């Protein structure tokens, strides 16, 4: 479904999530000393775009914007059923999936003997960008559903 909404709240989400994540990403890069690799540079470009679009939407954009949500999916049903628990459960499920994915990659690469706490922590630090994506995705989908159900019926239209 497509609907119209104010750009202010989504801009606030981008800024309020992007700035702390940029600080955490700086700490991560300092800890593992990876300032110039491709993943780090790509991550900073994505975070810069996220904060930049957030500032634009929050401070400068006037009028309504058009956005799209998918109704009937797992995220929508979870939002309708567990409104207050949507974010903690979504973030927890995402982190669990990342942990399982990283553990499987470590098992495939190093075998059962190579699966140590040290090696797993290194792999989790390497795939740290996935945590940023999970946090942002869950918060953004929560705000999208929140704004959709707050929007007037007249601003909604079905999109195929």
Domain ranges of the chain: 2-155
Answer whether residue 89 shows pLDDT above 80.
yes
Answer whether residue 49 shows pLDDT above 90.
yes
Grade residue 92 by pLDDT with cuts at 50, 70 and 90. very high
Q: What is the reported pLDDT for 77?
A: 93
Q: What is the reported pLDDT for 79?
A: 92
What is the C-alpha separation between 79 and 94, in angstroms, rounded?
A: 15
Q: What is the reported pLDDT for 62?
A: 86
Question: Residue 78 is encoded by which pair of tokens?
Answer: 């979870």
Answer whether residue 53 shows pLDDT above 80.
yes
CA 101 to chain centre: 17
In this structure, of 53-67, 100-114, 139-153, the range with the lowest mean pLDDT score is 100-114
Q: What is the reported pLDDT for 59?
A: 92
């Amino acid at each position: 479904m497509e609907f119209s909404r104010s750009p202010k709240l989504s801009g606030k989400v981008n800024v309020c999530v992007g700035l702390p994540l940029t600080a955490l990403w700086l700490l991560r890069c300092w800890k593992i000393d990876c300032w110039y690799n491709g993943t780090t540079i790509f991550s900073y470009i994505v975070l810069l775009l996220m904060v930049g679009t957030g500032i634009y939407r929050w401070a400068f954009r006037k009028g309504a914007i058009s956005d799209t949500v998918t109704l009937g999916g797992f995220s929508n049903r979870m939002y309708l059923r567990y409104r207050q628990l949507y974010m903690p459960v979504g973030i927890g499920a995402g982190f669990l999936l990342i942990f399982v994915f990283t553990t499987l990659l470590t098992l495939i690469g190093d075998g059962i003997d190579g699966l140590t706490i040290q090696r797993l922590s290194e792999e989790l630090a390497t795939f740290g960008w996935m945590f940023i994506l999970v946090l942002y995705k869950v918060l953004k989908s929560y705000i999208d559903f929140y704004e959709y159900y707050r929007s007037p019926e007249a601003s909604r239209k079905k999109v195929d």
